[in-house]
Every structure is written in structure tokens, then in C-alpha cells.
Amino acid sequence: MPPSPRRPLARYALLYAVLTALAAIVLLPFYWMVVSSFRAPEALFSSKPSLWLSEPVLVHYAHVLRRTPFVIQFQNSAIVALFTTLACILSGSFAGYSLSRFRFTGKLVVSVVIFLAMMFPATVVLIPMFLVFRTLRLLNTYGGLVIAYATFALPFCTWMMKGFFDSIPVELEEAAIVDGCTRAGALFRITLPLAAPGVAATAMFGFLLAWNEYLFALTLTTSEDMRTLPVGLTLFSGEYYTNYGALMAASLMICIPVLVFFLYTNKYMIQGLTAGAVKG
């Protein structure tokens, strides 16, 4: 007997039902954060909490923007995250390209060292880095945070970019060189555009690392005007009281740049994945 057309339909319906349930479980905390940021202060401690928002208020956002150093912390996080992302893109791309295309003495040793650097937890070098930065007067500076974050991000970014460069046929660069391009011209005009997904992924990784990092930002900064957003969030929680409304409002505002950055880089990831190349 031929298979019934209802069986595939039921199978797909079950699959989408499971996926919808999983998506709801993942998105529920984010939804609760959004709803809580717009609730009135007395509604946050109601004995009968509700998933729905009846009367939204902006009192928590006003408190965060007017009575806390959120704007300064946002500026600090933005500067550190953008420069860390730039360092990851430039250094990771050039280092990955060198490991992918060139043969030189000690290449295996360099590759192993970069790989091993990803295995050590960052907290191991926290105290030595603090002592070195204190000697070099890099504590409580943007440069110190950028160097610290780029140090941990570059090994992973280098291996990521190397993998993307390995997937691009070297014949494309050879053809460009035959047509008159230099090695640098072939890199910037041929290889890097085709490696756009890797560049976008590297940028996203570096940005998220610098935007969300807490421990090094707390240790390497000493003044209030140099604190970043993850450190600033702890100001809403005290020994006897936690301002949940302001905490949810600040958390939501912190998520917005990440979503915008992801939507922006996602466009280039799609363009790189659909970019044309020669077929063998």
C-alpha cells in the first residue's frame, strides 16, 4: 500500500510543535525580563505574578539613565568592545592567512602554541596580568582592557580565520597574481571578500567577549568612570535590597547593541556564503 500523505504531515507537525516548545522555553526568560522592566515597582513583588503587562511604566528606565552612571558605563563598554573587535579582525585575519598560505620555519610550533593558548582558563593569568599592567601603567585605561580581551580572543580568532582561508582555493589567488595583482591585492580583493563569514564570526566573537566580560573589567579598573556595563549591573544588587526593575531595564538596554551588531554582521555572513567562485 502507498504511504499515507498524513504521516509526513503529522511528523512535521510534531517536529514544529517540539521546536516551538523549545523556543518558548529559551525565550521565556528574555520575555520576562522585558515585561519586568516595564512593570510598576509594586507589581514586581505581587503575590500573583502575571505573564502579561497591563500598565507599562518607564520609571525603571528613568532611574537607570538619571540616577546611575549607566551612560558612562555604556560608553566605556562600547569603546572597549569596538577596539577589541577591530584588533581581532585585523590580527586574526593576518595571522590566520599566514598559517594557511605560507610555509616557514617553526610553523608547527606556532600553531601548537596558539592552540594551547585556548586551553588555559583566563583566570590563571589574572594576577600576573594585573601586576604587569600596574608596572606598565595600563590599569584603569581603555588600552589595558583592549589588550587583555584581545589576548584571550586572538587564539580562537586566528584558528577560525585559518579554517576559512583553508576552505578558499589557492588557485583564485594565483589567477589574480597572474592577472597583475600583488599578494596583498589578491588578499584584499579576492580572499577576504570570500572569507566574509569568517570575518563576521570573528567580529561577533570579539565583540561579545569584550561586551560581556566581568572579571577582568572589575580587576583592571579602579575608578567609577572606567567601569563597564557588566560591572555596573552589580550596583543594582545590595546586601539587603535588589532593584529588580532597574536591573531588568539595564539588562534589556545592554542586550540591544548585541542584537543590532548581530543583525548587521549577519548580512555580511550571508553575502560571504553566497559569494561566487570558480568551480573545479
Does residue 21 sit within a domain? Answer: yes
Q: What is the pLDDT of residue 233?
A: 92
The grid coordinates of residue 82 equal: 569596538
Q: Enumerate the β-bridge partners of residue 242.
A: 237
Does residue 184 sit within a domain? Answer: yes
Q: What is the pLDDT of residue 6?
A: 58
Could you tell me if 230 and 129 lie in one domain?
A: yes
Q: What is the pLDDT of residue 130?
A: 94
Query: By C-alpha distance, which of 234, 245, 256, 255 is closest to 60?
Result: 245
Q: What is the pLDDT of residues 230-280, one digit of tens each?
A: 999 988 887 788 889 999 999 999 999 988 888 887 776 665 555 444 444
Could you tell me if 49 and 81 lie in one domain?
A: no
Could you tell me if 118 and 239 lie in one domain?
A: yes
Does residue 94 sit within a domain? Answer: yes
Could you tell me if 116 and 220 lie in one domain?
A: yes
Could you tell me if 81 and 45 lie in one domain?
A: no
Could you tell me if 260 and 156 lie in one domain?
A: yes
Could you tell me if 109 and 247 lie in one domain?
A: yes
Question: pTM for this structure?
Answer: 0.85
Spatial distance between the Cα atoms of 48 and 42, rounded to a whole number of angstroms: 12
CATH number, residue 232: 1.10.3720.10
Full pLDDT tens readout for the chain, 280 residues: 455 555 677 788 888 899 999 999 999 999 999 999 999 888 888 777 788 888 889 999 999 999 999 999 999 999 999 999 999 999 999 999 999 998 888 888 988 888 888 888 888 899 999 999 999 999 999 999 999 999 989 999 998 899 889 989 999 998 988 888 888 898 898 898 888 888 888 898 899 999 999 999 999 998 889 999 999 998 888 778 888 999 999 999 999 998 888 888 777 666 555 544 444 4
* Mean per-residue pLDDT of the chain: 87
Does residue 269 sit within a domain? Answer: yes
The one-letter code for the residue type at 110 is V
Q: What is the pLDDT of residue 276?
A: 42
Does residue 75 sit within a domain? Answer: yes
Structural domain of 123: 69-273
Q: What is the pLDDT of residue 167?
A: 87
Residue with cell 592567512: 97
Could you tell me if 5 and 92 lie in one domain?
A: no
Could you tell me if 47 and 79 lie in one domain?
A: no
Q: Indicate the number of domains in the chain.
A: 2
Could you tell me if 101 and 7 lie in one domain?
A: no
Q: What is the pLDDT of residue 279?
A: 41
Buried b / exposed e over 214-232, threshold 16 CB at 10 Å, is eebbebbbeeeebbbbbbb
Could you tell me if 139 and 88 lie in one domain?
A: yes
Which of 57, 78, 96 lies at the terminal end of a domain, its last residue?
Answer: 57
Does residue 114 sit within a domain? Answer: yes
CB-based contacts of 234-240 (< 8 A; 24+ apart in sequence): 235/68, 236/68
Does residue 64 sit within a domain? Answer: no
CB 157 within 8 A of CB 88: yes
Q: What is the pLDDT of residue 5?
A: 55
Spatial distance between the Cα atoms of 254 and 50, rounded to a whole number of angstroms: 24
- ∠ Cα 86 263 273 (to 5°): 80
CB 70 within 8 A of CB 88: no
